[in-house]
Amino acid sequence: MKKISLLLFLVATTFQFSSCKSDANKDKNGTPIEKVPVAAFVVENAKNDINFTAYKTTEKVAVGGKFTRVDVISGGEGASVKEAIHNTEFSIPVTTLATKDSSRDYKIRKFFFGVMENTDLLKGKLLINDETTGTAKITMNGETKDVPFTYTIKDKIFNMKATIDVNDWNASAALAKLNEVCKLLHTGADGVSKTWSEVALDITSSF
């Protein structure tokens, strides 16, 4: 009798456990919840380094900086690094600009990006063309322009390099304003104050 009671208890417990487990995979209406598979490579989860180099004085002295945050708007997932990068749309808050000089950061944010149209965010989309090149569609100052870039993929690390001219985004007025407030700091040995419109980009995503 005891053996029968124990057997019935085990059967009931097993049934109850199975029922709970089944319910856990359903929503409140009893509809099965489909598990969304996690992609092997996700840009948002990668370590993303957005570095740039600007230039000042006639001698073209380099000034390095970076943006410490990038947000993925859409895409950014794939079975390979290339697939994850291709069609990734992103935005970068200009408030995350950092050049290791707080005074310089303030001036660039306020007197360069700050005088542009709707440029609290830099927006873009990355497109892979072939095994070594791609195109970045960058939106700034109300303009969207195509920027060609070269890239490499090694040990799950994607690196792209490009050079832009901010005047392509009608940013000459913003550049002139920045040069005005940085006049002394951007004056070289020849006595000329100059802020270059050329900016080099070096972006890395480590998956």
Residue 106: other Cβ atoms inside 10 A: 13
Indicate the SS3 state at residue 124. strand
Say which amino acid occupies 119: T
Helix (H) / strand (E) containing 47: strand 47-56
Cβ atoms of 64 and 53 within 8 Å: the answer is yes
Residue 146 is predicted with a pLDDT of 98
Q: Which residue has the higher pLDDT, 38 or 54?
A: 54
Q: For the segment 64-113, what is each residue's pLDDT rounded down to a tens digit?
A: 999 999 999 999 999 999 999 999 999 999 999 999 999 999 999 999 99
Tokens describing residue 52: 């740039």
Q: For the segment 147-164, what is each residue's pLDDT rounded down to a tens digit?
A: 999 999 999 999 999 999
Residue 36 is predicted with a pLDDT of 52
| Across 125-145, average pLDDT | 98
pTM comes to: 0.81
Cβ atoms of 130 and 148 within 8 Å: the answer is no
Residue 29 is predicted with a pLDDT of 62
Say which amino acid occupies 76: G
Cβ atoms of 99 and 64 within 8 Å: the answer is yes
Residue 150: other Cβ atoms inside 10 A: 11
